[in-house]
Structure 1
Amino acid sequence: MRKNIVLECVETGERIYLTSKNLTNNPDRLELKKYSPKLRRKAIFREVK
């Protein structure tokens, strides 16, 4: 079963990315490096509940 999740930037707090993940394979919170327009570089985005 896949669930839609929102990714929030650790540094700025902006929530601009929406993705999905498989809950059976990845039960813990997801962390991805994505581009942040405010910082103008890649930053860590963490899953928000």
Structure 2
Amino acid sequence: MAKGKDNRGKVTLECTGCVQNRVNNKKKKKSAGIYRYLTQKNPKNTPSPLELRKFCPYCNKHTIHGEIKE
């Protein structure tokens, strides 16, 4: 059983590969897009920004998704 309040907050993870491609390919008309995941984390246990390796359908491979501020 859980004791006390749950401190979990919502976190958005953004694909770092898509962000780099968008910056490098500004002249192209067709944008690849940026893929994002939603998850939760407890800021008391993990105060540093979260980075997970997840699949990005725009890059069509597993890339590092980093936490962004909303």
Length-normalised TM-score, structure 2: 0.66
Q: Percent of counterpart pairs with the same letter?
A: 39
The unaligned stretches of length 5 or more in structure 2 are 1-6, 20-33
The unaligned stretches of length 5 or more in structure 1 are none
Which is further off, 27-36 or 10-19?
Answer: 10-19
* Corresponding position of 1:30: 50
Q: How many positions carry a matched residue from both structures?
A: 49
1:7 aligns with 2:13: yes
Tell whether the 8 Å contact from 1:6 to 1:15 is kept in structure 2 after alignment. Answer: no
Q: Which has the larger radius of gyration?
A: 2
RMSD of aligned Cα (Å): 0.9
Give structure 1 regions of 4+ aligned residues with deviation exceeding 6 angstroms.
none
Distance 2:16 2:50 in 1: 12
- The structure with more helix, counted as a fraction of residues: 2
Length-normalised TM-score, structure 1: 0.91
* Aligned residue identity for 1:31: E
